[in-house]
Amino acid sequence: MAGTLASNHLGLTSWSLSLQREEKQLEASVDALLSQVADLKSSLGSFICKLENEYDRLTWPSVLDSFALLSGQLNTLNKVLKHEKTPLLRNQVIIPLVLSPDRDEELTRQTEGRVPVFSHEVVPDHLRTKPDPEVEEQEKQLTADAARIGTDAAQKQIQTLNKMCSNLLEKISKEERESESGGLRQNKQTFNPTDTNALVAAVAFGKGLSNWRPPGSSGPGQPGQPGAGALLRSSGIQQVQMTGTPSQQQSTLLSGVQMAQTGQPGKMPSGIKTNIKSASMHPYQRK
């Protein structure tokens, strides 16, 4: 026992009055804990290093990876602590044997320079097993408050909180769904293939556009052909004739209507009438 004390550079010792077997078990579990904690420490260190040095090119997935690693290591640590072979650590007592204001090189090395001196100043912080007195006070207060509330009232508050939470969750998920479907709709409906075809057909051969050429019109050069050109020409002539004799204009109008009727009995006559009305606005009339 004295040897243990002497070799312990931390100036503290852990002892057990149990059998040697138990002591061995304790040592093994402490070793396991130490290695787990060392792993955790190195991952934390590398994560902090990454955050400090690569924050400008850090990607979210890589941060998530680091978190996943830490979370896994914490889980393993918990498992080791809860393992049935691990003795209850709270039954172990650690007491400081020597406090010294002098610098302890071995301690500095073991704590990687964080704790150079094992003095009265740092020991309460490092060996504390209870919360700060203020924190303890607050906790007491809370426990007292909780005890004062009746079970019915507590139940009610729990229900209210649950209701609020579920409402909030529902709202969030609904919003999420809507924005997702909205995004999809946006993506899907920026164009319409049917419209594409209709527009291409329209510019390619005038499909769906006002077709001024009556069906079945024969080749060019035949006089009296009821084509658009004839209509245009007649309207041009009209414009000239309007200043001239009204009777001639009338006859042209009539012949124009007749031509159209023979050509296409449906739509054309009305078109011609309006055409005559708007003849003065004709963009390419003869001047």
Chain contacts with another protein (rule: CB under 8 A):
186-187, 189-193, 195-213, 217-223, 225, 227-233, 235, 271, 274-275, 278, 281-284, 286
By C-beta, is 36 or 235 nearer to another protein? 235
By C-beta, is 68 or 240 nearer to another protein? 240
By C-beta, is 131 or 208 nearer to another protein? 208
Q: Go through 48-76 and write b for each residue having 16 or more CB atoms within 10 A of its CB, e for each that does not.
A: eeeeeeeeeeeeeeeeeebeebeeebeee
Tell me the β-bridge partners of 117: 103
Of 259, 253, 255, 243, nearest in space to 274 by CA = 253
For the CB of residue 114, give the shortest distance to another protein in the complex, in Å: 53
For the CB of residue 57, give the shortest distance to another protein in the complex, in Å: 25
By C-beta, is 66 or 275 nearer to another protein? 275
Contacts of 58 (CB under 8 A, 6+ apart): 50, 51
3 state SS of 171: helix
- R_g (Cα) of the chain, nearest Å: 47
Encoded tokens for 194: 């049917």
CA distance 92 to 220: 113
Q: Are 110 and 9 in contact (CB under 8 A)?
A: yes
Burial class (CB in 10 A: 0-12, 13-18, 19+), 256: buried
By C-beta, is 57 or 277 nearer to another protein? 277
Q: Are 268 and 261 in contact (CB under 8 A)?
A: yes
By C-beta, is 10 or 260 nearer to another protein? 260
For the CB of residue 210, give the shortest distance to another protein in the complex, in Å: 5
For the CB of residue 246, give the shortest distance to another protein in the complex, in Å: 22
For the CB of residue 205, give the shortest distance to another protein in the complex, in Å: 7
For the CB of residue 258, give the shortest distance to another protein in the complex, in Å: 17
